[in-house]
Amino acid sequence: MKINLDRTSSGFCIGVQGTIHVAEEKLAQSGELYCLGDVVHNEVEVKRLEALGMETIDIPAFEELRNAEVLIRAHGEPPSTYDTARKNNLAITDTTCPVVAKLQKTARMLHQLGYQVVIYGKKVHPEVIGINGQCDDEGVVIKHPDLSDPVEIEPLDLSRKTALISQTTMDVPGFYELKKNLEKLFAEHGHRNPGTQSGEWMAVRDIDITAEKTGARAMPELVFKDTICRQVSSRNGKLRDFALSNDCIVFAAGRKSSNGQVLYSICRDANPKSYFIEDVEDILPEWFVGDDGKPVQSVGICGATSTPMWLLEKVAQYIERTFAHDSGAPDA
């Protein structure tokens, strides 16, 4: 049995990696640090950092905290969080992912320009809460690109100028499906950009938004900006190929991880013998037996953008030690 560890399209993305690095540095200096919400959606990694002195707190506890240092994780936070920090004399260590911080700025400017901001994402996801906070919590959050949930689209004002953006970790095909369906919906109600027959919305760049804000050049009433992180979305195809190239897949991620659920689904669609775990205790021996009753030839180990590489290495070593008696060391 050959153990293949995916080191190219699994493990922390840059944003999460930066947050974990800062958390480790702060804990090494003082031995204590508060974190607002799970530092990453991976319970195993959260427990490791809590063992080093980090304390995870929720919003009510944060609002009661005084004179302490608090880590803002990669997901980012709404402006209200920083207002509370100033009021309570809290020292903020801000590790908001640069991609998310840029998106927050985009959302804020579009809202200030009077656009109805539509966010492709999950309403309760911390990143979306932070983005919507830039819009005074007036953004319309849509998770289903086919517009199948009437509750999601009920707040839409089809007469207003509107801008579509996205949570950074959503899927690219879904974003463009949502764009197409919004174009159709607005056009059916007589709202389309001047000069367009089929209701196309205009793609805008940061420079276009700045030009509108300064009065140098106006933008159309219906616009979109693809704000999905390509470092995350580019993993999809690579993981699909990785899943196809192995007899079975062991996918490690936190059950709270939105990205983990998406990537695991990609693996499972490509290879039905894909199995989700949080840690080695979840592994079952029957996964490594083929339909012919013999051990599988290859096992692929992979994970989400919120899965630490040390955990993937732990999983590979455990399978190697427990099930792959005659094979060599795990491949890089």
CB-count burial class (<10 Å; 0-12, 13-18, 19+) for 142:
buried
61/90 Cα distance (integer angstroms): 13
Catalytic annotation, pick one of 127, 183, 221, 320: 127
The answer to whether 50 is a known catalytic residue is no
CB-count burial class (<10 Å; 0-12, 13-18, 19+) for 249:
buried
62/59 Cα distance (integer angstroms): 5
Any binding-site annotation on 259? yes
Any binding-site annotation on 21? no
Any binding-site annotation on 75? yes
Taken as a whole, the chain contains a residue count of 332
Beta-bridged to residue 91, according to DSSP, are 69
In the block, residue with structure tokens 């031995």 = 31
Any binding-site annotation on 267? no
Any binding-site annotation on 35? no
Centroid of chain to Cα 298: 29
Any binding-site annotation on 135? no
Any binding-site annotation on 265? no
Any binding-site annotation on 67? no
In the block, residue with structure tokens 């319309």 = 140
135/138 Cα distance (integer angstroms): 6
Phi, psi dihedrals of residue 307, rounded to the nearest 5° = -100, 120
45/126 Cα distance (integer angstroms): 18
* Short-list 295, 253, 258, 306, CA closest to 275: 253
Assigned token pair, 226:
């693809």
Any binding-site annotation on 196? no
223/113 Cα distance (integer angstroms): 12
**How many CB atoms sit inside 10 A of residue 121's CB?**
25
Sequence-separated (6 or more) residues with CB below 8 Å from residue 142: 118, 119, 120, 121, 149, 152, 153, 178
Q: Residues marked as binding for dimethylallyl diphosphate?
A: 41, 75, 125, 257-259, 306
Active-site residue list: 127
Q: Residues marked as binding?
A: 13, 41, 75, 97, 125, 168, 229, 257-259, 306
